[in-house]
Structures are given as C-alpha cells and as structure tokens.
A and B are shown apart, each in its own frame.
Chain A
Amino acid sequence: MKVTWKLADGREITAEVRDGLNMMEAAVANNVPRVIGECGGSLSCATCHVYVDDTWADKVGQPDRFEDGMLDVAEAERKPTSRLSCQIKAGPALDGLVLHVPEP
C-alpha cells in the first residue's frame, strides 16, 4: 500500500509500505521527521502522534482506550483525527492513506 506523510512545512513523503507493518515503523523506515516511536509501538510514549487526513478518518477508525489515554500526553495539540501511528496497520483497505505530521 502507498502512504503519504504531509509535513507542517509543506513537504510530502510518499512510500510503499508492506502489509502488516504499522505506520510508526513505516515512518521511521522512511525517515519521516517527528515520528519517533520511542517505545517501539508499545503504546507507552505518544511520540508517533499523527493527524489522519479527514478523508481517511472513518476508514482508519478510532483509538482504543489505552491509545486514547496516551494521546492525552502527546506533545502536539490533540484533534479529533489524532492517532498514534503505531496503532495503524498497513493493509489494502488503507492504500493511498494520507497522514499529517504535527508541529509541536
């Protein structure tokens, strides 16, 4: 599947992502700035916070209660489309996904 990260400075990074990887792993592999993933995708750090593009929000879905709790401690402002990218798994249903990387 294809994913595009839109950075706050207007730059875009698009990459092909293997099914089963999560969006934090994919971002780190593609050197997307500001998506760090300090806890390796264990829901313990909130450093892979992204905004899901409005057109994709429904398909990606809502955070579970642990992710919901951790989104409260993310650095950037929380929005209705906020997700931790380690909890979004690559798959055919999300082909073309657009994620926005927050500025602090």
Chain B
Amino acid sequence: MTHAASTDDGYADLGSHDTFLNGPPHKTFARLRREDPMHWSDWSGGKGYWSVTRHADILELNRQADMLSSARGIRMEDQSYEEYLARRTFQETDAPEHMETRMKAAKAFSKPVIAQFEGVIRDLCGPILDEAFAKGTFDATKDIARQLPMRMLGRIVGLPDEDLPWLVEKGDSLIANTDPDFTDHVLDKMTTDEFRMMPFNSPAGADLFVYAKDLMRKKAEAGDTSGVLHLILQPGLDGSVMPEHEFRNFFCLLVAAGNDTTRYSIAAGIHALAHQPELLTQLQSGQVWDTMADEIIRWATPTSYFRRTATRDFDYHGKRVREGDKVLYWFISGNRDETAMEDPFTVNFARAQNRHMSFGQGGPHVCLGMWLARLEVRVLFEELAKRLRTIEPAGPHKYLRSNFIGGIKELPVTVTVK
C-alpha cells in the first residue's frame, strides 16, 4: 500500500514536529517496538523523555495513574508549576479530582445521550457532502472533515451557528500550534513567553476565555440550561463548583478536542478510500457499519501520544525511570503493533475485536467524546457511501506539522457521484 509507506530511516527524531510532515515515522516506531521498547531520547526543546511504543506496554502503564501522573502536563513541552496551574484542564488532573469533573461531563457524552444525536448528525452530513461533491474536485479535509465535527460541537454545547467558523479557527490555532498554516504563534519557534499562562501557550486561548465567559453570561440571562457547559457547572458530589479558570480551560478543551481529532479521523478515512477503491465497495456492501468507525479511528490515530510524568522511580524493560521523568505513550505506534493486531498496516473495515488505543483506552483519561466520534464517523461514511461512485486523489496530500496531532490537513480528491 503505497499511501501507508513511511519515508523515515528508522531513526527519526520523535521530538521534532518536522519529522511528522511526511506522516508518522512508522519505521522508527517499528524498530523501537522491536529493539528498545522503553526508549530514552534527549530533546532539543527541553528535558528528554521516554517513549513507550508497544501496545501491551501502553495498556499496562496507562492504568497505573498513581505511578504515571497526568497532573504535570500531557504534552512533551515542559511547564512550570504556575503555567500548569493556569493552563490545565481535567485532562491534566489525577483521581479523585479528575473523577469529580469527569462525572459531570460524562453525563453529556454518555453513549445513550449521544445516540440521540444520530438524526442531527445525518441532517448535517447531507448538505456538507452534497456541497463538496458538487465541486467535483475539492479539498476533502477543508470541505468535509473540518465541517462536521465543529457544527456538531455547536449542537452539543449549544452555540450559535454564526460563531462556529470563528471558533474553528481559534480551535485550530490552539491544537495545531506547531503548524504555521494554523497559527502565527508557532510553539517551538516562539520568541515571546507572553502566552505561557494560556491554554496551549496560545493567544487564541485568551479569545476563547472571553467567549466562554460571555456565552455563559448570555445563557444565564436567557435561563438556557441546555448543553454540556451547564452540566459541568453544577456542584459535584462534594458540593464544590468548578472554578472559573478551570471552566474556561475546559471550554478550550471542548473546542479544540471536538474539532481536530474527529476531523483527522474523517480525513484519514477519505484518504484511504481514495487510494484503495475496494474499500468503497466494502463500505457499500452494508456489512461493516458496526466495525468501520473504529477501524478508521485506529488508522487515523489523531492523537499521536499523551505524556505522563513518573511520580516515583521504577524499572521498566531494564531501564531506570526516575521520578519527574516524562513518559510518552505513543498510541500511533501501539495501533500499528504487529503483536497486538493482525496486519496493522492494512485498512480493514471489517476488523473485529479492534483493540486500538486511539481514545487512550486502558486508562482513566479514555476519551470522553469517543461515542460522539464513533457516531460522527459512521454516519458521515454512511451518507458518503450512499452518494459516491468513485473517489481518487487529485494531487498530493499534506500532513499537519505536529508530533502530537497526526492529520492530513490538505486532501485534494476528485469524485463522481451516483
């Protein structure tokens, strides 16, 4: 499969965003899984880090949240304690604090609640696809993959439609803060520290803070209690209410997380269809709707890694990890682990028992929005399969410049419809 071939030499610098401009360096991950499953790297951007690359190891460590904490940052970047406190979301907390927030938010994202949105998603998909397909040749990331998740977030959170393009733009400059196409403040090329207290070290975070505060004020004035934001502001079991700065960070997380990960899953799915015509046939057989979404999300692995920090010294695969060391779980590698799944470099929409780890499965921080992501992906591809006759690449695609978020940011395709 030509489109899956990696161009790295097996010794890529995983700490470099540029490494990922040609897609994930799978030869490097394969070598690490084979030869050095607990791998230390020095890093030009700060303190060095450990890479965990085997599926079984990620599962084993991910659940040991007392030994490997989320509460000192979840990306490679080093943060001072002050920065961490100002910028953290509930992703960057441990139990029991994490559980308090999670229980509030989980009510809005539970499988039964999300299932009720199927019709809404379908109604959004139709016009998005029809508009894109009418062009014949178009950028599938921009015109399809980017559209659905943000419009859907608007519905779940209760945001006015006219605000959505602005929010997408801000979300992009947060999460893609290492790609000059998405932000003027490229993280690893910043010459200022004026944004260090803001989410993702980005001034877009400040804009979203203001927006969130305004939104809640307007909702309160109108007596509007719909949506997830209202739910998470209710007092928890211990009677405490989420403080304002934490709420605003949570809002930024919703905008960023609800935005890019589903987008890049959809893009990876369309990319696969464009390169392997038999996949469209597989979809149109109607036999794979129960399994295809997880396979697309495995294939995409939009979040390449999450970082944890060791709370004590421990030994792993013959290496001594020290308290305070950064440990990275490379989900993108676990999802291609030959010992954990059959033919991991093949897209198989019928893949059963798909123990992929794109949602961070196996640990307390498993993706809150996973049911929504799966539903959006399935419904979008159902609607796409109804309409599509052929799809092929219309030029080279481009990857995001990020070792953290993996995605195809430009995906020119040509389609014919039924």
Kindly state whether residue B202 has any CB partner on chain A within 8 Å: no
Q: Which of B42-50, B258-266, B359-367 contacts A (4 or more CB under 8 A)?
A: B359-367
Mostly helix, strand, loop or mixed at chain A's interface? loop
Residues of A within 8 A of B107 (CB): 72-73
Kindly state whether residue B21 has any CB partner on chain A within 8 Å: no
Interface size on B, residues (CB 8 A): 25
Establish whether residues A45 and B103, one from each chain, have CB atoms under 8 Å apart when the complex forms: no
Kindly state whether residue A92 has any CB partner on chain B within 8 Å: no
In the assembled complex, the Cα of A41 lies from the Cα of B362 at a distance in Å of 7
Residues of A within 8 A of B85 (CB): none
In the assembled complex, the Cα of A10 lies from the Cα of B189 at a distance in Å of 61
Q: Known: A41-B63, A73-B110. Contact between A66 and B96, CB under 8 A?
A: yes
A68-83: CB near B (< 8 Å → 1, else 0) gives 0110111100000000
Number of A-B residue pairs with CB-CB distance less than 8 Å in the complex they form: 62
Establish whether residues A45 and B237, one from each chain, have CB atoms under 8 Å apart when the complex forms: no
Kindly state whether residue A11 has any CB partner on chain B within 8 Å: no
Establish whether residues A65 and B364, one from each chain, have CB atoms under 8 Å apart when the complex forms: no
Kindly state whether residue B112 has any CB partner on chain A within 8 Å: yes
**Which residue of the partner chain A has the closest CB to B110?**
A73
Q: Which of B350-379 contact A (CB under 8 A)?
A: 359, 361-366, 370
**Which residue of the partner chain A has the closest CB to B368?**
A44
Interface size on A, residues (CB 8 A): 17
Residues of B within 8 A of A66 (CB): 96, 99, 103, 237
Q: Known: A70-B106, A73-B106. Contact between A40 and B62, CB under 8 A?
A: yes
Q: Which of A41-80 contact B (CB under 8 A)?
A: 41-46, 65-66, 69-70, 72-75
Establish whether residues B63 and A45, one from each chain, have CB atoms under 8 Å apart when the complex forms: no
Kindly state whether residue A8 has any CB partner on chain B within 8 Å: no
Residues of B within 8 A of A (CB): 59, 62-63, 65, 95-96, 99, 102-103, 106-107, 109-113, 237, 359, 361-366, 370
Residues of A within 8 A of B (CB): 38-46, 65-66, 69-70, 72-75
